[in-house]
Structure 1
Amino acid sequence: ATVRFITSPHAGRLTSLSRLPEQGPGVPFVRWRAAVGVLVHTATANTDRLGCFVVTGSDADEVAERADALGRQIRIQVEPLPAAGGPGQVRPARTAAIAG
Structure 2
Amino acid sequence: MSDPTRRDIVERLTKKPASVSELASPLSMSLAAVVQHIQILEESGLIKTQKIGRVRSCKVETNSLELIENWVYQRRKFWGRNLDRLGEFLEKKEKEKK
User: So what's the TM-score if we normalise by structure 2?
Assistant: 0.25
Which is helix-richer, 1 or 2? 2
Larger radius of gyration, structure 1 or 2? 2
User: So what's the TM-score if we normalise by structure 1?
Assistant: 0.25
Which is strand-richer, 1 or 2? 1
- By relative contact order (CA 8 Å, sep 6+), the higher-ranking structure is 1
